[in-house]
Amino acid sequence: MPELTLHELSVPGHRGPRLMPLDVPAQGIDRLLPADRVRKEPAALPEISEPTAMRHFVNLSTLNHHIDKAIYPLGSCTMKYNPKLNDEMARIPGFAGIHPMQPDDLVQGALAVVAELHEWLRAIMGMPGITTQPAAGAQCELTAVLMARAYHTDRGDAREEVIVPDSAHGTNPSTVHQVGYRVVQIPSGPDGCVDLAALERAISPRTAAMMLTNPNTLGIFERQVGTIARLIHDAGALLYLDGANLNAMMGLASPGAMGFDFAHINLHKTFSTPHGGGGPGGGVLCVRKELEPYLPMPVLEQDGDHYRWNVDRPRSIGRVHSYYGNFGILVRALCYMRSLGASGIGEASREAILNANYLKARLKDAYAASHEGPCMHEFVLSASRQKARGVKALDIAKRLLDFGMHAPTIYFPLIVEEALMIEPTETETKGSLDAFADAMLQIDRESAEDPDRVHAAPTRTPVRRLDEARAARKLILSWQDLEAEGAGG
């Protein structure tokens, strides 16, 4: 039976808590609420008892897939389990109840949390300059490219191009365009890494920066990163690390030591805070010393035992967020780091790599691997063999829903035909990995023996396969009684 909407559950006279009578003197109401601003008729809100409302939202929550229900192997997004201890710490009244406009003297504990998080991240990233102001990784990209422009402008150097590999995240070229630079795309080589010859041809005096994801979106470590950094720096340009895949190397390798000038971190991916469903997120941008003057203001500083926000930053690119970042996410990230410790952070990366390689080994005979050899924290398979039988990557993704599992990323990166991008993360057990592998292998068999079953999927979800093109073109963003309007259920 489909879940009814609150309007359909509404019964006249039902209500939740009763409000206390108004304590505003009657003769004063007209001054506070002028008559022309007061409704003549009550709002057409559903009339619902509290138990009915509670059951409605609990039932809805069980219809969505989330990491607390089952594996969420979304390649490039690191959907790991979120420890509930971190949520409890963020809900401490002293953290949850503060306001960003409070004077620094009244929020010294909160600033100490941010300062300690900075120290952990400086050690992990190998870079001294840091801001936790951006809301997420994509805004970190924007911040870095704006800083690169300011850096070159200060030197009287008018540059206009940013190099982006063809395996980059989609936000990279989008960010470049938003800032006003031109994207110069370069191909990957046969090994899945940056084609160095193509890179050398692309570099010119117009090059402002290069945006590199490492490990890249194929789950391969860019082994020539030192050479890439040298080529970029010799041209007077800057090298940016898209750190969305940091979960493969946190605690194991330092972006600063690799030669990166900027590097971003998605706290809501790598450091295990709530992710998906529209947020919240948390972005961190780390930079080398020469770029610190351009960081968004204000910048957190320590004077003895006192912390303060410094707004005297004449070369700063300005604010990129209303205040100082998503503080609750920063608290969760610090709790995660403290609970693991320095050795545990590196161990988490090792286990993420182990889990990905185990899954790849189990699936590579049924699904074509994009590249041979071991992977890092994620890997890309191709459903080209299944497509030859009439079953596409989209069909496989839909069929996985019948097993109670979220699908991997599909059709990305674009350089792999019928791509299935899989990232299990370190928080999945061997039993969970085996269940996912067994489901994928069963779908492979079905593609040969019973393709209609795959084409019909999902069959066990509240909503069957949607007409996604129609849904995108004809959005319905508010409740409508479609049956009453004669439009069907």
CATH code at 92? 3.40.640.10
Report the alpha-carbon distance of residue 339 to residue 181 in Å, rounded: 42
3 state SS of 452: helix
Q: What is the pLDDT of residue 474?
A: 86
Report the alpha-carbon distance of residue 475 to residue 230 in Å, rounded: 49
184 in any annotated domain: yes
3 state SS of 360: helix
3 state SS of 233: helix
Q: Which of 290, 310, 339 represents a domain boundary (last residue)? A: 339
Q: Looking at residue 449, which CATH number applies to its domain?
A: 3.90.1150.10
Say if residue 179 is in the same domain as residue 301.
yes
Q: Indicate if the alpha-carbon torsion angle 14, 20, 24, 26 is positive or negative.
A: positive
C-beta neighbour count of 69 within 10 angstroms: 13
C-beta neighbour count of 104 within 10 angstroms: 14
3 state SS of 351: helix
Say if residue 184 is in the same domain as residue 277.
yes
Using an 8 Å Cβ cutoff, are 226 and 239 in contact? no
Say if residue 227 is in the same domain as residue 93.
yes
Say if residue 333 is in the same domain as residue 351.
no
C-beta neighbour count of 169 within 10 angstroms: 22
Using an 8 Å Cβ cutoff, are 367 and 386 in contact? yes
Say if residue 264 is in the same domain as residue 324.
yes
Say if residue 351 is in the same domain as residue 301.
no
Q: What is the pLDDT of residue 109?
A: 96
Would you call 99 exposed, middle or buried from its count of C-beta atoms within 10 A (0-12, 13-18, 19+)?
exposed
Say if residue 136 is in the same domain as residue 273.
yes
Say if residue 369 is in the same domain as residue 428.
yes
Indicate the pairing of strand 161-165 with strand 299-303.
Answer: unpaired
Say if residue 335 is in the same domain as residue 355.
no
C-beta neighbour count of 52 within 10 angstroms: 17
478 in any annotated domain: no
Say if residue 377 is in the same domain as residue 464.
yes
Using an 8 Å Cβ cutoff, are 392 and 418 in contact? yes
Token pair for 321: 């967020």
* Number of domains the chain contains: 3
Report the alpha-carbon distance of residue 8 to residue 5 in Å, rounded: 5
21 φψ region: left (φ > 0), alpha (ψ -120 to 50), beta (else): beta
Q: Which of 63, 96, 111 represents a domain boundary (last residue)? A: 63
Say if residue 352 is in the same domain as residue 272.
no
**What residue spans of 214-299 are helical by DSSP H?**
225-234, 255-258, 267-270
Token pair for 487: 């439009």
Measuring CA to CA, how many Å separate 289 from each of 318, 407, 426? 18, 41, 33
List residues bridging with 240 in a β-sheet: 211, 262
488 in any annotated domain: no
Long-range contacts of 173-178 (CB under 8 A, 24+ apart): 174/138, 175/138, 175/141, 175/142, 175/145, 175/211, 176/145, 176/211, 178/142
**173 φ, ψ to 5°?**
-65, -35
487 in any annotated domain: no
Residues of the chain short of pLDDT 50, as ranges, are 487-489
Angle separating helix axes 137-154 and 171-179, nearest 10 degrees: 40
Q: Which of 304, 339, 374 represents a domain boundary (last residue)? A: 339
- Find tokens 């300690």 and name the residue: 116
Using an 8 Å Cβ cutoff, are 71 and 436 in contact? yes
C-beta neighbour count of 204 within 10 angstroms: 13
Report the alpha-carbon distance of residue 336 to residue 266 in Å, rounded: 14
Q: What is the pLDDT of residue 407?
A: 95
Q: Which domain holds residue 177?
A: 85-339
Report the alpha-carbon distance of residue 318 to residue 340 in Å, rounded: 34
389 in any annotated domain: yes
Say if residue 17 is in the same domain as residue 134.
no
Using an 8 Å Cβ cutoff, are 423 and 351 in contact? no
pTM here? 0.89
26 in any annotated domain: yes
Chain centre to alpha carbon of residue 62: 22
Using an 8 Å Cβ cutoff, are 363 and 371 in contact? no
Report the alpha-carbon distance of residue 186 to residue 199 in Å, rounded: 6
